[in-house]
Homo-oligomer: A and B are copies of this chain.
Amino acid sequence: MQDQYFKSYEDLEVHRLMLEDEPRTNTYREAICNASNLFKGKVVMDVGAGTGILSLFCAKAGAKKVYAVEASSLAMVLPEIVEANNFSQVIEVIHGKVEEIILDTKVDIIVSEWMGFYLLHESMLESVLYARDKYLVPGGLLFPNRARLYAAPCSLQDLWLKKRSYWTESKYEFDLSPLLLLASQQSAPEIATIPTEGLLSDPQLLWDLDLNTVSQSGLQSFSDRRFFSVESEGPFHGIGLWFTCSFPPAGEGEDPPELSTAPWDEETHWKQTVILLPTEGKLEEGDILGWELNLEKDKDSRAYRIEFNVLDDDEPHGIPCSCGSAKCEIIKHFLNNPNRDSEIPDGNQGGDGDVGEANIAEDNS
């Protein structure tokens, strides 16, 4: 399974698509090349170097040494690329998995483009964290150093028609509708473009990963329970997931460069990820929508198993909760004003403290 994973990166088509993804590659370029004050004279490791483009950026930014670690057979061609760009004195290619190579030096900076679909799917983050724990000097930098996962309920007519409704219409004068149930059980997430008008509420931040501190075990599973206040009415087809990553700022007071895969930003090869519902829902403006999302990493691969459930109307909200309902806003107000009596009012808002945004803070620690 792992070997297959690395094998897939030998296909240059994948690398062409990633290089052609300009929001992705340009953000890395700017984050690295504009931060030459951070890179000058430093030792860098590029985890999963691929075509070597990030290593080249680092060399250009003034790194003293760049270890380009690549597990696939692309590592055989990398030295030629390094030479073609006159960086043989700087970039050293290491062929192997970062978990298996032997390097008897620490590095000042780790760069990596490790992000998978919905951030985590088949991502290389675990390898990056392994490299961080083993090779990064205390106070060293990670490029990127922060990743955030967002979600919003969506209306996605075209995708819905293709994936679900298709089976309801007769086909060549025959009724194939029994396949509809099967179709609705196939819940593999879809990589799709969510039109901004398909967002039914403001997105919420599900997971805010500080890559300097998150542990490998912290990536094994993720559970979240959310309540959204619906802002536009429409058929409800599923939840959209997307991520942003940010990089250490070039200088004090500067904004951290950010790579965003949000629906309103320039499209990347990650697009957005959609988890479709088994059946179409209907939402009205002002409705409160609750759901539960569980991601569980497969033991033998880099894939995640996704479980997604819409909650009944009477399910208790988390504390605090960003749904925007009057009740939850009052609770938030209580919590944000510690001078006042912050005892939580009665009602169905109480319950499990292990839900909502509180949970996110825990996952970050």
Chain A residues close to B by CB (< 8 Å)? 11-13, 15-16, 19, 25-26, 29, 51-53, 56-57, 74, 77, 80-81, 84-85, 162-163, 166-167, 171-172, 174-179, 181-183, 186
Contacts and interface: CB of A to CB of B under 8 A. Distances in A.
Nearest to A82: B178
Contacts of A85: 174-175
A128 to B, nearest CB: 22
Nearest to A79: B178
Given A171-B19, A176-B81, A12 B182 contact: yes
A291 B166 CA distance: 45
Nearest to A87: B174
Contacts of A26: 172
A162 B84 CA distance: 22
A84 B53 contact: no
A84 B167 CA distance: 13
Q: Interface majority SS on A: helix, strand, loop or mixed?
A: helix
A179 B77 contact: yes
A350 to B, nearest CB: 43
A175 B77 contact: no
A12 B81 contact: no
Nearest to A29: B172
A48 to B, nearest CB: 16
Contacts of A29: 172
Nearest to A182: B77
Which one of A26, A174, A175 has the greatest number of beta carbons of chain B within 10 Å? A174
Contacts of A179: 12, 15, 51, 77, 81
Given A172-B25, A172-B29, A178 B80 contact: yes
9 contacts: A12-B179, A12-B182, A16-B162, A25-B172, A51-B171, A56-B174, A77-B178, A84-B175, A85-B174
A51 B176 contact: yes
A14 to B, nearest CB: 11
Nearest to A52: B176
A80 B162 CA distance: 22
Contacts of A77: 178-179, 181-182
A354 to B, nearest CB: 35
* 9 tightest Cβ-Cβ pairs between the two chains A and B: A80-B178, A84-B175, A56-B174, A81-B178, A12-B183, A77-B178, A85-B174, A77-B182, A85-B175
